[in-house]
């Protein structure tokens, strides 16, 4: 089975990060910490959240990671738009290069995979 985060885990993470601070602190249970660790290791290869954080620090880690995910999601959108603009202007290689550059720099597996697939599709269409 793939280590990639499954959609229900992504939804769980988003729901967790939406909780008010007090409720999020209360969610620092062993079950949720284990689930969070699995989510992080599947979504961010090579990254592992700190163990044994006090509940308030666990909550902060969740919120910071969600903010980071949002930022990379927006960056992916910008990279896709930029690549499409490059392609529309006849700069197919620049579009492919921009997507591959994003994919290699993005720590989020899903976002990097999306950019890689789009670059591969452009490459195939060129041939």
Q: How confident is the prediction for the chain on average, in pLDDT?
A: 93
63-79 pLDDT per residue, tens: 999 999 999 999 999 99
pTM: 0.89
pLDDT in tens, 76-108: 999 999 999 999 999 999 999 999 999 999 999
Distance of alpha carbon 25 from alpha carbon 4, whole angstroms: 26
Show the CA angle centred on residue 3, arms to residues 38 and 61, nearest 5°.
Answer: 30
Rounded to whole angstroms, the Cα distance separating 99 from 117 reads 9
Q: Give the three-state DSSP class for 127.
A: coil
Q: How far apart are CA 39 and CA 13, in angstroms?
A: 8
- The tens digit of pLDDT for each residue in 29-51 reads 999 999 999 999 999 999 999 99
């Amino acid at each position: 089975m793939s280590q990639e985060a499954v959609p229900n885990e992504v939804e769980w993470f988003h729901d967790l990060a939406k909780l008010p601070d007090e409720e999020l602190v209360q969610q620092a249970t062993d079950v949720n910490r284990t689930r969070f660790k699995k989510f992080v290791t599947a979504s961010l290869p090579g990254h592992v959240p700190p163990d044994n954080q006090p509940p308030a620090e666990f909550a902060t880690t969740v919120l910071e990671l969600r903010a980071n995910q949002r930022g990379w999601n927006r960056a992916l959108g910008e990279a896709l738009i930029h690549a499409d603009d490059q392609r529309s202007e006849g700069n197919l290689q620049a579009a492919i290069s921009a997507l591959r550059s994003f994919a290699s720099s993005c720590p989020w597996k899903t976002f990097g995979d999306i950019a890689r697939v789009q670059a591969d599709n452009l490459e195939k269409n060129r041939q």
